[in-house]
């Protein structure tokens, strides 16, 4: 599909790294609660699948080493694929003022797959969900948009523009890239906390069930009220909360979840969210172990997990990579903070691929799921200067 592309407009923003150091490894996770920024790579964690993450992290910190007692990075969506975590050279840096320009895009916005093909995939999934003998209760199907910039896009430019929304966690994470060309980055602004661990305290704030916000206050309020009353969206959300509570319960003295989801607002979307608190029986359980246990949740995958994973692998034409994975950090004490890698783009040179997904249940309507994914693209499209969007 085509979109109207904006020309570059510059503005001043406070940044914390040299905007010219485009190839230098840089990690950012700036949430409403705190900011973690790290520069350089001192050592890399041997990569592997999610079920070995906690063991590899423990072995890394058990070995004598200099530098920050910290690992930062990303876990991919597919738990069988390899993660990308590393020990940075230094944490934080000196703030500088840079001029951030709106990226200039060239050519068309390419939908992968088209909106019509995505609607057909949703319809096929709904048919499967409605089968009386199907074990599948929910599946999350994603699609992507590919755009091209006139000049290589620095990930800090995109992150700075996304960071205008104070309700989300902005992140920049270097991710593996094939070949020796431009480095690749995952850049986004996520509203969803997978797991935060401090001592024996665990917090998760899953989101599932969404509605697009409106610039008109009355219409925006109606959208929020409709979402809060939607049986379909509550059903979708329930799967996520139940899965996280069930996973945490054996590790905790008790797990407490809000009795009903509440509204969570970003600049472009309304979400249903539930805060889940737990107190670990064993405070030595690491945040890496919690990530491996919880990820991928039904919010980005579906339930049962393996059946949803199989359908996603068969259906989606573009591999998710680190989209819908987890981005965050863990320290030598096992504390850490990990967010679900949604509302993001993979940036490499002049190529930018945006991702969005929607939770599909038996009552889902294909056209509405197309509209939901289109709405979820808007935070990234706006940051890229695409304002007059015809249809995606």
CA distances from residue 367 to 120, 294, 392 in whole angstroms, order as listed:
9, 30, 12
DSSP-derived secondary structure for 336-351: EEEEE--SEEEEETTE
221 Cβ partners below 8 Å, 6+ apart?
Answer: none
115-130 vs 305-315: helix crossing angle, rounded to 10? 150
- What are the structure tokens assigned to 81, written together? 């694929």
CA distance 159 to 56: 30
Read off φ and ψ for residue 144, nearest 5 degrees.
Answer: -140, 160
Total H helices, total E strands in the chain: 8, 24
CB 285 within 8 A of CB 215: no
User: What are 193's strand-pairing partners?
Assistant: 205, 339
Q: Which of 100, 51, 55 is nearest to 75 (CA)?
A: 51
364 token code pair? 């889902």
As a whole number of angstroms, the distance between CA 162 and CA 379 comes to: 7
Of 344, 348, 350, 346, give the one whose Cα is nearest residue 379: 344
How is residue 339 written in tokens?
């967010």
Active site residues: 138, 192
In whole angstroms, what is the distance from residue 78 CA to residue 12 CA?
38
Strand partners, 390: none
């Amino acid at each position: 599909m085509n979109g109207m592309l904006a020309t570059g407009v510059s503005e001043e923003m406070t940044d914390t790294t040299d905007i010219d150091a485009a190839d230098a490894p840089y990690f950012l996770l700036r949430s409403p609660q705190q900011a973690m920024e790290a520069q350089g790579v001192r050592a890399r964690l041997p990569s592997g699948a999610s079920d070995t993450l906690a063991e590899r992290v423990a072995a890394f910190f058990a070995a004598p080493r200099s530098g920050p007692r910290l690992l930062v990075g990303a876990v991919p969506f597919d738990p069988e694929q390899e993660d990308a975590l590393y020990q940075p050279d230094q944490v934080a840096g000196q703030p500088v003022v840079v001029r951030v320009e709106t990226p200039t895009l060239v050519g068309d916005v390419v939908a992968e797959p088209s909106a019509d093909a995505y609607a057909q995939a949703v319809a096929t999934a709904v048919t499967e969900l409605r089968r009386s003998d199907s074990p599948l209760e929910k599946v999350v199907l994603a699609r992507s948009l590919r755009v091209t910039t006139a000049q290589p896009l620095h990930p800090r430019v995109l992150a700075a523009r996304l960071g205008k929304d104070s309700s989300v966690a902005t992140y920049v994470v270097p991710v593996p890239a094939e070949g020796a060309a431009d480095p690749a980055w995952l850049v986004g602004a996520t509203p969803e906390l997978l797991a935060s661990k401090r001592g024996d305290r665990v917090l998760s704030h899953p989101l599932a069930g969404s509605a697009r916000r409106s610039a008109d206050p009355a219409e925006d309020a109606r959208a929020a009220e409709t979402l809060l009353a939607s049986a379909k969206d509550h059903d979708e959300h329930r799967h996520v909360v139940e899965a996280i509570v069930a996973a945490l319960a054996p590790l905790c003295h008790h797990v407490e979840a809000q009795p009903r989801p509440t509204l969570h607002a970003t600049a472009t979307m309304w979400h249903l969210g539930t805060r889940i608190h737990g107190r670990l029986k064993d405070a030595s359980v690491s945040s890496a172990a919690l990530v491996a246990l919880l990820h991928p949740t039904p919010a980005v995958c579906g339930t049962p997990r393996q059946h949803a994973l199989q359908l996603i692998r068969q259906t989606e034409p573009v591999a998710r990579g680190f989209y819908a994975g987890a981005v965050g950090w863990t320290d030598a004490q096992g504390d850490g903070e990990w967010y679900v890698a949604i509302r993001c783009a993979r940036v490499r040179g002049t190529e930018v691929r945006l991702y969005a997904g929607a939770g599909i249940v038996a009552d889902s309507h294909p056209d509405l799921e197309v509209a939901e994914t289109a709405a979820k693209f808007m935070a990234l499209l706006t940051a890229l200067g695409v304002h007059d969007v015809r249809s995606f």
